[in-house]
A and B are shown apart, each in its own frame.
Chain A
Amino acid sequence: MFSIVKKNMVYFIGYCGVIFTLTAILTIILGNENAVPLVLISGVLLFMLVFGPVFFNEQYEEKHKGYDFLDILPIKASEIVLAKFGLVLLTVAATEGYLLVLFSISKIAPNDWALVRSYILMGGVVCLFFSALSYLGIFSLGYTKFAVFVMSFIVLLGFVPILIMRFYRDNMDVLVENILAFLRGVNWVAVIPLVLIGYFSLMFIAIKIKE
């Protein structure tokens, strides 16, 4: 299984290198005065894990018919899936850890640290679930078909802000306040184990599909 991890980790290491460097530069440039855009951008960069290493690796597997090659080797489907899910989990954990340490020592929004921490952790949760769902989709449909599906989904997502504007036009401030209050109030000690249970459940479904 370590060989699979080793083969796949190139893109993940590249991702971490880019994200770590970029967020460090942004932190220096934007600093505490621009904490909101800095944290928002970091969350978006964190989410790029899905469309970066996860998609690049699967595109690579499809281009070279990698799963056909692996199919003749003595390795279980569960080991392949575990390697892929494990790498995503490790990368998310490392990136979140790095961002939290970076923002903490850079004293980014010290007065609202609970919100910053929550936003970064929530970014990780979204990232984990989208990665897991992407693997489920890719293992079921193949990379190319799934990529088309995702592109269509992204186009549809463009309508979400329009719908939000339409329904909350007069109450936008209230909506934002509610979201921020929700984020500040998340009990991560309870949520993280639940997130991990959900993630590993999706992993087991992925194993069943791959088998």
Chain B
Amino acid sequence: MGDEEILDVIVVGAGPAGLACAGEAAGAGLQVIVLERGDVAGGKNLSGGRLYLEPVKDLCADLLKDAPFERPVVSETVCLCDERSSLSFRLDQPTGNSVTVLRARLDKHLANRATAKGAMVLPQQRADELVMPAGRVTGVKVGPEVLKARVVVAADGVLSFLAQQAGLRPARETHTYAVGFKEIIQLDAAVIEDRFNLPKGQGAARLYMGAVTGGLPGGGFIYTNRDSLSVGLVVQLGAVRKWRSESHLFDLLEEFKQRSDIAPLLAGGQTAEYGAHLIPEGGFGALPSPGIPGLLLAGDAAGFVLNTGPVLRGMDLALTSGVLAGRSIVAGLKARQPETCLQIYRQALKQSFIMKQMRAHKKAPIVLSSDRLYRRLPEQMVNWATDFFRVGPKGSHPRMRQAFKGLRRSLGFRGLQDLWRLMRM
């Protein structure tokens, strides 16, 4: 590729956002290359992870056809934990609306689809910086080489150095990030189905809130894959920065795995991989502008993650923003007005569920950063349940009325306020 050649689109980052965008643009006849810094598409990518399918089943029908999902989630459990016990709410359904995924497999599939539509995915290419004379992005630099394009898409993930260079994320606000770290623990499919009480091929998601994060805002998770479990923790970095503890973060994961209500689920499993990744959890209030002239942001790079506690979504927003970016570029370039791409994209985002949902849940980051939700509330709920099920040495056990009164008393005004805020979130 000489300096003279100007491509239609350069996409930076072969994840769901970048590959969805590349497929969309290439499918419409544009010349598209995807720069991926890893050895292969997905090589640098890590999720919990699960993908909610309903929002993307129409928009990405073609892209996700025959995609290598792990298991459809038919069993949802939220567990409130104190140091030793947990109280669970579990929903079992005949069908699920999300699937567990492993990104190495999923992203490879997405890359194959984008390639089949004519996009060129180039691995081992780190886009070092944007070329932006006079405030307009005209290409990227890869090492000494300059690649030029009518539009550049930064789908370079949560840390997006390109968005930062463009001035869209000048300061990295610690409280707008969380870190997720997890192990892949291999187990036979039949053992997984047995332990999680699942029909063959179906999956479970378990979320843990409370003592598992040592009081830090966040939670633990177990997702069932085909023949492994994803077991990990997510914690908000704003709280980690102020964390008073002798422990390391990684100690929390080991303690999580050793809990008496978790260890039997993992017993005999072999850890095959360990990984960590940041999550942009700033929500609506922390969203950057989705681009500058010549540059569009998509996926994590644009801050498109929704955390509302029991539901944490990123990949469906990434895929959707990628498709919308691709379509906006097609519309702008076909009309020979590349400068309109950003405006078209902004409008498309506004009309999509992404901006609507992010706005609707804009209070979530603040409510979910309250320490008490993770320290006091789960413990009080566990205590209440413990009392409720206890028959004492004098042969007594509480009446329903007393138990609920006891719960109200132990929650206190603050606890009730927390619950109220959660319900209004």
A binds B: no
Chain B residues with CB under 8 Å of chain A are none
Chain A residues with CB under 8 Å of chain B are none
